[in-house]
Chain A
Amino acid sequence: MMRGRAPTRDEKRLAWALWVLAFAALWLTESAVGYTRDESVYFIAGESYASWFRQLFQSPARALTDAAIVRAWDYNHEHPVLMKTLFGLSHLLFHTELGWLRSATAFRLPAFAMAALIPALTFLLGSAMYGRAAGLFAAFAFMLVPRQYFNAELACFDVPVAAMWLLVVYCFWRALEDVRWGLWCGVAFGLTLAAKHNALFLPFVLTPFALWRAWSASAGQPEARAWLGRFVGVFAAVAVLYGLLVLSLGGGAGFQRKFLLLSPHTLLFAGLAVGGAWVLRGVDKVNAPVTRALAPIAAMAVLGPVIFYLHWPYLWHQPVDRTAWYLAFHAKHNHYAWFYLNQLLREPPFPLAYVVVKTALTVPTSLFVPMVTGLAALVARMVLGAFERTRAWVERPVTLTEAIVGVNAVASILIISHPQVPHFGGVKHWFPSMVFLGILAGAAVARGCTALWERLKASWPSLPQAAVAAPVFAVLLAPALVSSVRVFPYGTAAYSELAGGLPGAATLGMQRQFWSSHVTGVLPWINANAKQGARLYLHEVHGGSFRDYQRNGMLRPDLRAAGSPADADIVAYQYHQEFREHEFLTWQAFGTRTPVTGLYLDETPQVVVYVRPETR
């Protein structure tokens, strides 16, 4: 499969079925999942943003003032707001207005919808590339990774941005065959920018493929080649002019200060849009495949910033300064302590192999190995196919689509592997890669199933391929399913068989958990045993989460939040290597080193509960 193709009716049905299955599974299981530190922040943000929409409905003129916008949208302005707005509106509709869902479920619903896109789209792309079996395996391969399933439950951005990244790539791929998808690619890119900043890397990943395709499609057609040159020229000229503008204005600060609605800055952007459109119209007259290759890039360049600006009211009155602040925040993000192979990583440079090692130790091994063989086979075909002497060894050359999938499978991993990039957050920052690694795993499994089926067909001619694929899938997916069920809902504690599970990972010196959501494991004990009105110190649990546990009926409403062990009657300490001092402060405050209960997953301490002796 060289270029994009529309799904067949059966593929569409299966994709919908996968979407519904994933959405339903996430919805049915979410109530057990605790509220991560970030999630409760996004709950608050979502409510605040939703309140602005109420105001917009009731008093539009006032709502559109900067003061009203800042009042509602200033909270958590370090992230764009597409997902938080959806969380907030869903909460407003399904909890506040209709009362159909508990508060947390209503917030999380849009996250499920977005996460469910991953198996559906993965199936469509995988099926088009390697057949239905590969697509199906890829779809399950993402959702059965315990950490990925856990993150899919959360009203956060990491799984949604992986889904959006996949959507952009899917649109890009479809655009290679149908130019209208180029426009959708631009829209999807804008929405991805609105989901999380990972999207900023997408143009760098996809543009080389667009140019490669345009270059090969224009071979032997000088006029088309000339238009391709003009396309590159327009973008290069705008980039150079922006560079000169920065220099002439005395650097980034001057550039930012002089960036007004009517300024050379916006003029250059308009020039890019007009120039890009002019080139696309021109090239379309001589070579449609070149147009289809370039249209997504032009659409991303133009629609991306426009949608990003429009989706975020916080930017409407002060787009430049507030966007600059947002970008600077992520360029200089804090480094949180992170335990890795018995070392507490606190600051860069971080180990180059971190991402690969962490992936190997957390993705169920029966899924990780086909990911590796799938990627290795693709790379081997690419390398062998590049040389005259070895080309014959390759059954079929690597297609453009395969190259796109292969590069996307490693792009996020390579970006996060950079030793200066923050390394906290487990595996969530390279989820976009995992989607594509799943497709390559599907390819590896499917080619084995096909080979086995062909061998068996010699003896049983009527043997359907599914009769081979189904048991193979069952064997390969079963360990991941067992692992997922075993660790659920404590997803940040999931470790693979290669690690030796959670006990093996603890001995290896890996971070056992983070984000505080495992506290749900001790809340029933606290509810049953805490004295009326007891002061409760939930270590690492965000104040908003404390409120959310009470709001959603998971924590008794009479219990009061305490700020430290010294002020508390009960302490639930989250076992982190970097926070050992907090447990010893509890020993000091309570005069005992003996906990009363705890959450111990496969023996590893996760949350340890102490009670002040005089209040027992």
Chain B
Amino acid sequence: MTRALPLVELGGLLVVALLCLVFHLRLPGRLPQEADYRAAAQRLQAEARPGDAVLLFPWWTERARLFVPPAIPVYGYLGSDKDDLSAHPRVWVLGQPELPRSDEAGFLETFLPGRRAVGEVSRHGPLTLTLYENGRHRPRRFTATEAYARARVYLEQPDGTRRDCPFDGRAHRCPGPAHLYVAPEWHEILYEPRRCLWMHAPGGKQRLVAELDGVHGGLGLRLEGGIIFEHAFPKDARLSTTHLGVDDAATGAQLLSLAIPPGLEGVQKAETRLPGGAPHTVRVWVQADNADRRQVCLDVLAVEPEVGVRG
């Protein structure tokens, strides 16, 4: 028995090596060529509608960005499988199910609820392109990042005194440090790229406030925001909780609020139903006692309910 062991061991090693060689021989055939991407992009160019989005599977296959028509937003970040992509009524999934360790079933389990494939899957080499109706779509009637230029922005002390942050055509710039301004920007919140309103907490008890008109009533009012980049991670006791809120400017009532303590990563969300009637004016604000590492990026949306899938 012990004499046979080395032979068994060698046999096992050779089998492993041969499997490795098979892996290397097969790998190039599982990778798309540039022509495959171009063919997929052509279909997108021809069939995509305004408002459509492309979702990458696996999430990291970002080479597609080189080829997808620039007008179509491409989503692919760690966690994007779970993204509702609620801004988009239709989603194109650009997949590479043949890549090693691609788990298409796992992806679909996360992605499919509330969605329905429309038409056939097209194959371009190892690429697959499938159009889905996005039942998680929530039509947007208001977004702060689009309405920001009309906002009134100021720093507000606890006693109500205000210092204006005048609009310079790009941003509302406040007196004080250069980072105190309000403007839409691209930032990362726990790997997710978000175009959101940069509203760095000013520090102390004062608030940075953006007053926005024309928010439709009778809809869901959402506040979504977080601390960008690596700044959310530290749990240092010297850092303080960041408070975000949305108040009704007319009544002063608090409509939404979020508290982001040090160490809490990711986009935080809150939603309420805004009473119907005339459009509302809301006050969006940010406050943190210690402004260090409290780089907030947020958005306020007025959204309809999920459209659901037809049929």
Residues of chain A at the chain B interface (Cβ within 8 Å):
337, 342, 346, 364-366, 369-370, 373, 377, 393, 395, 444-445, 447-452, 455, 472, 475-476, 478-479, 482-483, 486, 497, 499-501, 503-504, 506-509, 575, 577-578, 580-581, 583-585, 587-588, 592-598, 600, 602-605, 608
Number of interface residues of B (CB under 8 A): 51
Most chain B beta-carbon contacts within 10 A, residue among A444, A445, A448, A476: A448
Contact A584 B10 (CB under 8 A): no
- B191 CB, min distance to chain A CBs, angstroms: 5
Q: CB-CB < 8 A to A337: which residues of B?
A: 230
B220 contacts chain A at the CB level, 8 A cutoff:
no
A500 to B188, CA, bound (A): 28
- B171 CB, min distance to chain A CBs, angstroms: 12
Which chain B residue lies CB-closest to A591? B186
A234 to B4, CA, bound (A): 50
Q: CB-CB < 8 A to B65: which residues of A?
A: 593-595, 608
Which chain B residue lies CB-closest to A604? B60
Given A451-B3, A504-B101, answer yes or no on A478-B70 (Cβ-Cβ < 8 Å): no
Given A507-B101, A594-B66, answer yes or no on A585-B60 (Cβ-Cβ < 8 Å): no
Given A486-B24, A580-B191, answer yes or no on A448-B58 (Cβ-Cβ < 8 Å): no
Contact A370 B13 (CB under 8 A): yes
Contact B188 A451 (CB under 8 A): no
**Those 6 A-B pairs whose CB atoms lie nearest each other, nearest first:** A448-B10, A500-B100, A479-B20, A504-B100, A366-B17, A451-B6
Which chain B residue lies CB-closest to A586? B186
**CB within 8 Å of A: which of B36-71?**
58, 60-63, 65-66, 68, 70
A444 to B188, CA, bound (A): 49
Contact A581 B187 (CB under 8 A): yes
Which chain B residue lies CB-closest to A505? B101
B193 contacts chain A at the CB level, 8 A cutoff:
yes
* Residue of A365, A449, A605 touching B16 (CB-CB under 8 A): A365
Contact A509 B31 (CB under 8 A): no
A393 to B3, CA, bound (A): 11
A608 to B76, CA, bound (A): 14
- A425 CB, min distance to chain B CBs, angstroms: 19
B27 contacts chain A at the CB level, 8 A cutoff:
yes
Contact B31 A603 (CB under 8 A): yes
Which chain A residue lies CB-closest to B74? A593
- B1-32 CB contact bits vs A (8 Å, 1 = yes)? 01100110111111011111101100100111
Contact A369 B16 (CB under 8 A): yes
Contact B14 A475 (CB under 8 A): yes
Q: CB-CB < 8 A to B100: which residues of A?
A: 500-501, 503-504, 507
Given A503-B99, A603-B63, answer yes or no on A587-B7 (Cβ-Cβ < 8 Å): no
Contact B188 A580 (CB under 8 A): yes
A504 to B26, CA, bound (A): 14
B78 contacts chain A at the CB level, 8 A cutoff:
yes
Contact A594 B70 (CB under 8 A): yes
B96 contacts chain A at the CB level, 8 A cutoff:
yes
A447 to B63, CA, bound (A): 46
Tell me the interface secondary structure of chain A in the complex.
helix
Q: CB-CB < 8 A to A452: which residues of B?
A: 7, 10
Contact A603 B66 (CB under 8 A): no
A-B contact pairs, 30 of them (CB 8 A): A364-B20, A369-B13, A448-B6, A448-B10, A451-B3, A451-B7, A472-B10, A479-B24, A500-B100, A501-B27, A503-B30, A503-B31, A503-B100, A504-B99, A507-B58, A507-B60, A507-B100, A507-B103, A508-B101, A577-B191, A578-B230, A581-B229, A584-B186, A587-B186, A593-B70, A594-B65, A594-B68, A594-B70, A603-B63, A603-B96
Q: CB-CB < 8 A to B132: which residues of A?
A: none
Contact A455 B7 (CB under 8 A): yes
B256 contacts chain A at the CB level, 8 A cutoff:
no
B175 contacts chain A at the CB level, 8 A cutoff:
no
**CB within 8 Å of A: which of B94-109?**
96, 99-103
Q: CB-CB < 8 A to B7: which residues of A?
A: 448, 451-452, 455
Contact B13 A444 (CB under 8 A): yes
Contact B66 A483 (CB under 8 A): no
Q: CB-CB < 8 A to A583: which residues of B?
A: 193
- B88 CB, min distance to chain A CBs, angstroms: 15
Contact B66 A597 (CB under 8 A): yes
Given A580-B77, A584-B188, A595-B65, answer yes or no on A507-B99 (Cβ-Cβ < 8 Å): yes
B73 contacts chain A at the CB level, 8 A cutoff:
yes
Contact B21 A449 (CB under 8 A): no
Given A451-B10, A587-B193, A597-B66, answer yes or no on A603-B24 (Cβ-Cβ < 8 Å): no
Q: CB-CB < 8 A to B78: which residues of A?
A: 342, 509, 577
- B102-138 CB contact bits vs A (8 Å, 1 = yes)? 1100000000000000000000000000000000000
Given A479-B24, A507-B101, A508-B101, answer yes or no on A603-B9 (Cβ-Cβ < 8 Å): no
B228 contacts chain A at the CB level, 8 A cutoff:
yes
B306 contacts chain A at the CB level, 8 A cutoff:
no
Which chain A residue lies CB-closest to B233? A346
Contact A580 B193 (CB under 8 A): yes
B185 contacts chain A at the CB level, 8 A cutoff:
yes
Contact A478 B21 (CB under 8 A): yes
Which chain A residue lies CB-closest to B103? A507
* Residue of A482, A508, A592 touching B70 (CB-CB under 8 A): A592
Given A588-B185, A593-B73, answer yes or no on A497-B19 (Cβ-Cβ < 8 Å): yes
Contact A598 B3 (CB under 8 A): no
A604 to B20, CA, bound (A): 20
A297 to B273, CA, bound (A): 77
Q: CB-CB < 8 A to B31: which residues of A?
A: 503, 602-603
- A42 CB, min distance to chain B CBs, angstroms: 27
**CB within 8 Å of A: which of B235-253?**
none
Given A366-B20, A501-B23, answer yes or no on A605-B14 (Cβ-Cβ < 8 Å): no
Which chain A residue lies CB-closest to B73? A593
Contact A605 B60 (CB under 8 A): yes
A366 to B16, CA, bound (A): 6
A592 to B230, CA, bound (A): 23
- A383 CB, min distance to chain B CBs, angstroms: 15
Contact B62 A373 (CB under 8 A): no
A572 to B7, CA, bound (A): 51
- B173 CB, min distance to chain A CBs, angstroms: 16
- B155 CB, min distance to chain A CBs, angstroms: 24
A584 to B68, CA, bound (A): 18
Contact A482 B21 (CB under 8 A): yes
Most chain A beta-carbon contacts within 10 A, residue among B9, B77, B229: B9
Q: CB-CB < 8 A to A373: which residues of B?
A: 9, 12-13
Q: CB-CB < 8 A to B13: which residues of A?
A: 366, 369-370, 373, 444-445, 448, 476
A605 to B193, CA, bound (A): 16
Q: CB-CB < 8 A to A581: which residues of B?
A: 187-188, 228-230
Which chain B residue lies CB-closest to A596? B66
Contact B10 A608 (CB under 8 A): no
New contact pairs (4) apart from A479-B17, A597-B66, A603-B96, CB-CB < 8 Å? A346-B230, A346-B233, A444-B13, A602-B27
Contact A395 B2 (CB under 8 A): yes
Which chain B residue lies CB-closest to A587? B186
Given A577-B78, A584-B187, A603-B32, answer yes or no on A447-B24 (Cβ-Cβ < 8 Å): no
Q: CB-CB < 8 A to A595: which residues of B?
A: 65-66
Q: CB-CB < 8 A to A506: which residues of B?
A: 58, 60
A179 to B21, CA, bound (A): 47
Q: CB-CB < 8 A to B61: which residues of A?
A: 603
A123 to B286, CA, bound (A): 66
Q: CB-CB < 8 A to B11: which residues of A?
A: 448
Q: CB-CB < 8 A to B3: which residues of A?
A: 451
Contact A476 B17 (CB under 8 A): yes
Given A346-B233, A393-B2, answer yes or no on A475-B17 (Cβ-Cβ < 8 Å): yes
A332 to B100, CA, bound (A): 39
Which chain A residue lies CB-closest to B67? A594
Q: CB-CB < 8 A to A577: which residues of B?
A: 78, 191
Q: CB-CB < 8 A to A370: which residues of B?
A: 13
A479 to B15, CA, bound (A): 12
